[in-house]
Amino acid sequence: MNTPTTMPRERLRLKITLERFRPAIWRRVEVDDDLSFQELHRVIQVAMGWEDAHLHEFRVAGLRIGMPVDSDGMFDDDEPALPEDTTILGAWLSGQRKFRYWYDFGDDWWHSIAIEKRLPADPAAPRAVLLAGRGACPPEDCGGVYGYADLIATWSDPAAEDYESVREWLGDDFDPNAFDLAEHARRVGYVIMR
């Protein structure tokens, strides 16, 4: 049931939202349902702006789908999981409306993924496309939701004790509200090729 299919049956319009942020940080993508969860992971990484520097997994209908940590295909605990490289979206998302993606088990970046629309397959369309988004992706290793909130507060307050070091780390052109749709869409276009 989790083997690749030869052609997509449908396209999925997904809204990927980084949980516990206001204003929301989100991306809207369309993907073929014959992508593996590993391919969707790459789409999310590029669309959001993550650097793929940490472990990750999906949670779908009470199941874990992720990357085995050793050559025997074993995961790091005894909880059952499916391998993301051979588990296909269409096989596991047919009855679903939402699922989750967890990136960086230390900073705990949880993403809620809503299936907004199911569209007919379009063999001429790119397998993955970024349609829209809002908000800058937090920098890697900033301490999760609360660490990022502290970072933004320090970045915004010239009187803060660590203001200069935070400005140096984030750069003068950092804008927590910025999102370059054209640049991220270009990258998503390259990450999954036919």
**For the chain, domain boundaries:** 10-135+179-191, 137-176
Dump pLDDT digits (tens) for 58-113.
999 989 999 876 555 556 666 778 999 999 999 999 889 999 999 999 999 999 99
pLDDT over 70 for what percent of the chain?
Answer: 89
Instruction: Kindly report the pTM of this predicted structure.
Output: 0.91
Which pLDDT does position 69 carry in this prediction? Answer: 61
DSSP 8-state assignment for residue 88? B
Nearest to 174 by CA among 128, 126, 136, 127: 136
pLDDT band at 2 (very low <50, low <70, confident <90, very high): very low
Confidence category of residue 4, pLDDT binned at 50, 70, 90: very low
pLDDT in tens, 11-42: 999 999 999 998 999 999 999 999 999 999 99
Fill in the DSSP letter of residue 124.
T
Write the DSSP string, 59-84.
EETTEEEE--SSTT---SSSS-EEET
**Under a CB-based contact definition with an 8 Å cutoff, are residues 130 and 27 in contact?**
yes
Provide the CATH topology of domain 10-135+179-191: 3.10.290
- CA–CA distances in Å: residue 133 to residues 9, 55, 183: 26, 24, 12
What residues contact residue 49 under an 8 Å CB cut-off, 6+ apart?
Answer: 136, 137, 184
pLDDT of residue 22: 87
Mean pLDDT of the chain: 90
